[in-house]
Amino acid sequence: MAPDTARIAHLTHALEASAVMELLPGRPRLLALGEPTHGEDTLLDVRNGLFRQLVEQEGYRTIAVESDCLAGLRVDAYVTTGAGTLDEAMEHGFSHGFGASAANRELVRWAREYNTDRPAADRLRFAGFDAPLEMTGAASPRRPLSALHAFLTSWLSADGPTDGLLPCTADRLDALLGPDDRWTEPAALTDPSRSCGRSPEAVQLAVIAHDLVSLLDERTPHLIAAAGREAWDRARLHGRTATGLLSYHSWLADTTPARMTRLVSVRDRMMAENLLALAERGPVLAFAHNAHLQRERSSMRMGGERLEWWGAGAIVSARLGPEYGFLATALGTIRHQGVDAPPPETVEGLLYALPEDRFLVAAPRLAAALGDPLPAPRVSPWFGYFGLDPAHLKETDGLVFIRDVRG
């Protein structure tokens, strides 16, 4: 065993919930598990195993994944009540094609099985926490805006006269929204002139959305008493999503140099808001790309431009402090994607020399053991894998290392 490897071997732990908790000052309200690439069921299998242990040993009851927050309501309904079928939940409850994953299917199947005959307070919950943004464009704000308007229309009347309270009628809202394809135009991602995000109708809708959310907040005591906290929480989700989408569409129509930075920032801000809301109801395991969950500023290159922004994890960590825990994941190989054994002088290379297939490392202690200067980041030959940035180790609670990801 090389000297550098011998120096770090004693920092490793079995990849178990108990070992994770030993790395943290206490049980976090939000424990984030990052992945360095998407679409690999090996990583999702690790996530599933850790979540089961967190449920059985640490009282976690919610798992949140990087998928459309509105679509995820369908999965949650299936998991908690058995509404619909497993096939329907997988087909319609995930975005970005994640419903095709066998590991995601196993997670949903197991959660539904776990919930059978359990009291509501003890059931597992599922949530998507991403904004409704697919690869080529953003969703229309119709669904969340209409749902929020309908909720307020239904429940405010029990608290007295509603004349003048709502900023518009449902028909007026529908007319302002217009056809959905004007919102979902794929070309708007690269051509601001194709976006309707700063049209007179969109500007008016943004004011209406703000007024509806304000009304929801102002009438909180009555609405929770009348509709129940679960329905009120769902209305808050619709409000966050409506205002977030309208902001995103507005920046799609922008022509300044800040455009792309603001787009990625709005997305992560929406993610953070969803995670903070989920953490209000109990401890959550969140699973997404490392770049969304890390405490440091995120960065990427898009169209030749380097973008930097604060990701969801950085925002949530700033809000929750020690009640936010972050585990990053690094990999040895993904040979079916051309990612072979890491160079021995990189952090991944040092960890790859250890005999275990997967393990947990105390990241700040690893950084201390490596000393200064830290190894250079690994350069991935495949754009889909983001190598570990050693400079992030000090702000990462634990590092999950998986030796080989097999297709």
Q: Going edge to edge, which strands form the sheet with 284-289?
A: 12-13, 358-362, 398-404, 324-333, 30-35, 284-289, 62-68, 125-130
pLDDT classification of 135: cutoffs 50, 70, 90: low
Tell me what pLDDT residue 6 has.
75
Closest CA to 327 of 28, 102, 9: 28
Residue 290 belongs to a domain: yes
Quick one: 151 and 207 in the same domain?
Answer: yes
**What digits encode the pLDDT tens for the residues 109-127?**
999 999 999 999 999 999 9
Tell me what pLDDT residue 347 has.
96
Tell me what pLDDT residue 225 has.
96
Tell me what pLDDT residue 4 has.
67
Quick one: 253 and 281 in the same domain?
Answer: no
Of 267, 284, 314, the residue at which a domain comes to its end is 267
Res. 48: pLDDT tops 90: yes
Res. 329: pLDDT tops 80: yes
**What digits encode the pLDDT tens for the residues 355-372?**
999 999 999 999 999 999
Pairing of strands 133-134, 30-35: unpaired
Instruction: Determine the structural domain holding residue 75 and report its residue range.
Output: 5-17+27-49+57-135+276-405
Count of structural domains within the chain: 2
Residue 74 belongs to a domain: yes
Quick one: 131 and 145 in the same domain?
Answer: no
pLDDT classification of 1: cutoffs 50, 70, 90: very low
Quick one: 121 and 10 in the same domain?
Answer: yes
Tell me what pLDDT residue 159 has.
66
Mean pLDDT over residues 67-71, rounded?
98
Residue 22 belongs to a domain: no
Quick one: 286 and 353 in the same domain?
Answer: yes
Quick one: 86 and 36 in the same domain?
Answer: yes
In 3-state terms the chain splits into helix, strand, coil percentages (rounded to 5) of: 55, 15, 30
Averaged pLDDT score across all residues of the chain:
95
Residue 167 belongs to a domain: yes
Residue 360 belongs to a domain: yes
196 CB neighbour count, 10 Å cutoff: 19
Quick one: 320 and 361 in the same domain?
Answer: yes
Res. 305: pLDDT tops 90: no
Tell me what pLDDT residue 3 has.
46
**What digits encode the pLDDT tens for the residues 165-192?**
999 999 999 999 999 999 999 999 999 9
Quick one: 224 and 155 in the same domain?
Answer: yes
CA distance 131 to 251: 15
Of 267, 290, 324, the residue at which a domain comes to its end is 267
Question: Before 373, cis peptide (omega within 30)?
Answer: yes
Quick one: 170 and 263 in the same domain?
Answer: yes
Quick one: 248 and 142 in the same domain?
Answer: yes
Of 209, 234, 267, the residue at which a domain comes to its end is 267
Quick one: 66 and 155 in the same domain?
Answer: no
Quick one: 261 and 287 in the same domain?
Answer: no
Res. 2: pLDDT tops 70: no
Pairing of strands 298-302, 284-289: unpaired
Tell me what pLDDT residue 224 has.
97
* Model pTM score: 0.96
